[in-house]
Each structure stands twice: as structure tokens, then as C-alpha cells.
Structure 1
Amino acid sequence: MVKHSAVAKEMHNHIGPARVFNCEENAKDAIINKDIKPGDVVFIRYEGPKGSGMPEMFYTTEALASDPELVATTALITDGRYSSATRGPAIGHVSPEAAAGGPIALVEEDDLIKIDISNRKLEIVGIAKEKRSSQEIEEILQARRENWVKSDLSKKKGVLAQYEKLATSPMKGGYMG
């Protein structure tokens, strides 16, 4: 999901390097510490229903919104959720989520990410900051799929462990099924 009316026209078609984080806290810290640059595409994964219960990415979106260099030039993509007040190029509820083995789990640092708001497309168009053919990218993603390791559900306890086991896809509402 993206609130396209809140995205600057310059970002409706954008290609930038992926900056990949497995939790919101690390992404927020990278923004505050100025490790994120204009044009970057920040990925926060494992924040969907099966990952961490699908919390709102409030602190990260606020960190971006409060930085005048980044607010309209830096995309944020997550399998977590946003509030209705989020502005800028923020794409959330990515599904299937990372914890379920969705494509967001396969993105690596410095992959080139293409965002095309008008055509509703989000895709990897390069590896290690170099553009590649779609066939090359599919071969690389297939190798990444084969090496991906599912998270261990036994590490969570109580209600969150039950929710992780029973949660539906964000596309279906992320409720316990």
C-alpha cells in the first residue's frame, strides 16, 4: 500500500539502492545517524504479522519526515504498517511478508530498486548498484530463495508466538485465522 497523493512527483518513478534492515529500530537509528542518503530505498522487513506482529513504523516515518533532505527523496518499504498520517514515498503492508518467505526477504543491501507509482510496480532492477537483465535478476533471486532460512517460531513465547503461527497475510488483514 502507498498513499500516492502524499508522494512527491519526483519520486513517482525512482530507482535507488536498497538499504536493508530486519527491524524498525535499526532503520530509525540509521536515519538519525545520517547513514541514509537522499535517493536510498530503505527496507524494513520482518515487521509483518508473522514477523513481529505488524507494528506501526511510526518512529522511522517520523525520523524521515523530520529530515528535510530525506522527506521527499527517500523511499521506505516494509511488511509492517503505517498510520494514515504518513507522508512521502512509504510503501507498507508488503505481502507476502518476509517471515513467510515473501520477496521482501530476498532484497539485499545495494540492490537497485525501481518504484513506479503510476504503474503500481516495485521491482529489483539491479544487483550491487549495477543494472541487470530481468533474467539475471530472476536467477539471482532464485539462488537467494534456495538459501533463505525461515525464522524459528520457537523463539517467541505467549500470545506473540500464537499470533505468528496463526496470522494471515497483510493482504487479508493480518488477523489471527
Structure 2
Amino acid sequence: MSRIGKKPVELPGGVSATVSGQTVEVKGPKGLRSFSATDDVTLKLEDNAITVEPRGKSKRARQQWGMSRSQVANCVQGVTEGFKKELEINGVGYRAAVQGKTLKLSLGYSHDVDFPIPDDVTITAPKPTEIVVEGIDQQVVGQVAAKIREWRAPEPYKGKGIKYKEEFIFRKEGKKK
């Protein structure tokens, strides 16, 4: 039995949802999100809460039960609070700046890196060494943050590069004479 799937997803004030077949549309102050569940689960909207129930007792139905409930909960969280990833830049001369719809990164290459900002996320650089990626879709926010980090992943000797704010970089000791 899924422990996560049993809990209904409560809809906070200012959030409305419609369930039509296997599709849930959640509308809130930050925007509109939708999720289409597989045929292994049933979605119901009752008493200002969305419940997910498995169809049958197959292994796949039980797997989809908890996953579908989590996806619906993420839709509700996305339209109310949104999702956010914070990145830090470490290194001499490494910096970031937002210019229009482009994130300009100076990462020690012979050229600046121009990263086009997708339409469904907002990227800000409160300091030259910080990048904040925000949006209503958790997957898109994480993917954009990972693509930015990919330009210069942190290295283990000096810790230079782009890392997530909460990430720990395992440091290595250099060569000894």
C-alpha cells in the first residue's frame, strides 16, 4: 500500500482544479499546470481535495498511485508557491549577469557564455556570484539549473565552478612534494 498515495491533495485558497478523465488542471495565482495520469489510477475531486486511487492490485498500478499523487501535489505547489533553485559561482573572475532574455556567464573561457532564458522560467542574478532560477514546473526549473551548472561544474581541488547552494563539494588534497 502506498503511504503517499493514500493522502488526498488539499487545494489551498485561491486554487481551483478540474478533473476530466485522467487529466487534472490546476489554476492558481502563479499560473496554470496540468497533469495527465496513466490508466492505472483514478483521479477524483471531492471536498476541495484531489484523491488518487489505484485501479486493481497490479504492481504497476501501485507504482503509479504514489507517483501520480506526487505529481498532482507538485502542480498545486507550483501554482501557489512555485519552485526555486539557487546556484553559487566560485572562482576568480567568474560572474553572471542577466541582460534581457539572456544570462551572460563569465566562467574563465576565452569567450562569455550566453544562455538564453526559456519562457517558462525566470532567472535573476541578485549578486554577480549568485543565480536564482524560479518557475511553476519543478522539472523545468531543475533542468534549466542543471544546464547552467553544466557549463562549469565544480572541481574538487579548489572548488571553482557553478554549484547548487546546498551542495557539498568533496575536496581533495593536491600533490605533495
Structure having the larger proportion of residues in strand: 2
Same fold (TM over 0.5): no
Structure having the larger proportion of residues in helix: 1
Q: TM-score scaled to structure 1, two decimals?
A: 0.23
Q: TM-score scaled to structure 2, two decimals?
A: 0.23
